[in-house]
Amino acid sequence: MRNYWRQCVALLMLFAGTALPAKEAAPVIIFEADKIITMEPSLPSARFVAVSDGIILGVADSVAALDAWTRGRTVSLDRRFAKQILMPGLIDPHVHPMQAAVMLNLPFIAPEDWKLPSGSYQGAQTPAAYRARLREELAKSNANPFIVWGHHELFHGSIDRAELDSIAPDRAVIVWQRSFHEVIVNTAALQAWGLGSEAEFNARLALSSASIDPAHASFAKGVFSETALSIALDKLRPVIFTPERITAGMAGMQRMMLTNGVTTVSDMGTGVFSSFTAEADMIMAAFDRPGNPSRVMLMPIASILPAATHLDQWFDRTKARYASPNVRVDRRVKMFADGAFFAQNMMMNAPGYADGHIGKWLTQPTVINEQFARFWAAGFDLHIHVNGDEGLDVVLDGIAALPTRSAQTVTLEHLGYSTEAQNRRIARMGLMVSAQPNYIRVLSDVYAANGLGPDRAATINRLGSLERKGVTLGLHSDFNMAPIDPLYLAWVAANRISIAGNNKAPSERLSLDKALRAITIEAAQVIGMDALVGSIAAGKKADFAVLERDPYALGAARLREAGVAGVIYEGVYQAAR
């Protein structure tokens, strides 16, 4: 027996001293750049980055310094970017791919100019200009129904069913409000939808009395707003949701992403137009196609998962079905508090709105608090759409009532208007913010004159305050509330200049560094992906935006001039044009 154990020990020693054959190392690509902006505080810049199998091996200021990764391996040096700038692939942490796919098939008549893959659309800032553009677009199109996006009452004047009837009496016309949260239709559209009489209209509202506030719809005006928008979407789905339109729209969205250096997005609410499964299938088909240089995160809306849904089982099934190299499914959920900022439907504390109107709840406070408790207990990170300071009070109170769970996070989405006291509370509670900065750009002037007054309108997007308090902050497009163009969003947040050229509360500007962090590493943090993307560091995905000019050298005022040449996605380059 003693000899047996001696033999065993000898055998173990033999194996311990004999290395198993090493797997052949994958080739290494070293990318050279005039400057690599890492967004890593400890090593903020470099000249070279080594990549293998789509993963960053290391960064350095010389090729020789990367010898530990190149020794004995097949190595190539890519000098195409030697006169350009590399920074982390840009991140838009709040988009709606299905919304983008739908909207990119429509003409835009908005207050501001838009440059889209389908063409450029000049802005209209007066009622006369809007109506002239509407007639122009109607004359160019044979579509029936004709759908157009971008109307805003404070620029374009009110428009209703009767006026649309006078413009197009024999053709269904749907005007999509600038917020996306409202449509205005003519009589021909109501008749085509089987809602041509007030009795039919009211009967349809009654079918969904539990989820739709009747005050959010008007037969006389032809309006479907906020909770009542779902009625219009049901009727529009056969027109806007065709395979051809969705395929073309998704391609347009991905073209915008590539053109503007975006390699990662989060769908902040899968299931807006249809079921989660239907939308996820289409998004996956678009993002998992060969050669697509980007990834997407899917996220359910709390209201599509009723109380009977076993959340653990739902999540496990969903992740098993959709998680792939380019599609991510995490334990996160989207919730909605108050209404749209672009429609002045946000819930505002005293003194409220100057004209006396009251905002709208997308989810009643008692219901959203129930959602907080249910999903928090199930281990979900929460992403909460909230726009007004009254809405924010409800959200903060509801979150404060939850038990502390250090492994879970809460992100406030949009945060159009908050007070200094609320920002202090956000910081104390350790919450993160994913902000929509285009509010200050497009709306601050008209909201000063209508609704909020000059002081509150100037402090829309109180982001400098959040930076001073150390709050983790991402910037998002929520396309089509803003272009999928993170450098533009960073420019807006760092300059706060309205479309009329007015400076708004300069103390609320983001620093240049914070603005760039908000489209890279902190944008990754708000969606829980900062271990994978958002900075250029060993072990992370080799996702880079290739820029023509150094944004730090340009400074905040010229940030839009950085120029995107293309992206490197997991080590593979694609030119933007």
Strand, helix or coil for residue 206: helix
Quote the pLDDT of residue 15.
32
Kindly state the DSSP code that residue 216 receives in the 8-state scheme: G
Please state, in angstroms and rounded to a whole number, the distance separating the CA atoms of residues 20 and 22: 6
**Which among 456, 347, 340 is positioned nearest to 392, based on CA atoms?**
347
CA pair distance 490, 557, nearest whole angstrom:
10
**Whole-angstrom distance, CA of residue 33 vs CA of residue 47:** 5
Structure pTM? 0.93
- Partnered with residue 572 across adjacent β-strands are 569
The pLDDT value given to residue 209: 63
CA proximity to 269, closest of 429, 106, 382: 382
For residue 37, what pLDDT is reported? Answer: 98
* Six-digit token string for 85: 């700038």
Mean pLDDT per 10-residue interval, the chain, length 577 residues: 39 36 81 98 98 98 97 96 98 96 96 94 96 97 96 97 96 96 96 96 83 92 94 93 93 97 98 92 96 97 94 98 97 97 97 97 97 98 98 98 95 98 98 98 98 98 98 97 98 98 98 98 98 98 98 98 98 96
